[in-house]
Amino acid sequence: MSLSSEHFDHHLTPTGWVLGTEHLDFCTNKVEIPEDALLTVQEHRKISHWMADEDVWITEMWRSNDTEAVDAAIAKFGPRPHVQPPFTQKRP
């Protein structure tokens, strides 16, 4: 079992990236998926033990069939949402 394992949904819309549901260690903050979502990714954040650095990765969960709209939004807002940098242990 890891010390912390959380994930966050992000939705790309024609107006940019929107934060969705947050699956935290002790609760879930449910947010409805925007009707105009073009792409959904999940940001995973895991700390395996108290001295470990945080692992962060992003998984694509869903993509609209409207490839032109998806490509246009990616060109304008980027292929991935801006996320916090991973937590790292400060070591000498």
Q: What is the DSSP track for 18-64?
A: EEEEEE-SS-EE--PPPTT--EEEEEEEEE-STTPPPEEEEEEEEE-
Which residue did the predictor score with more confidence, 82 or 11?
11
Handedness of CA 74, 75, 78, 79 (dihedral sign): positive
| pLDDT tens for each residue of 35-72 | 999 999 999 999 998 888 999 999 999 999 999 999 99
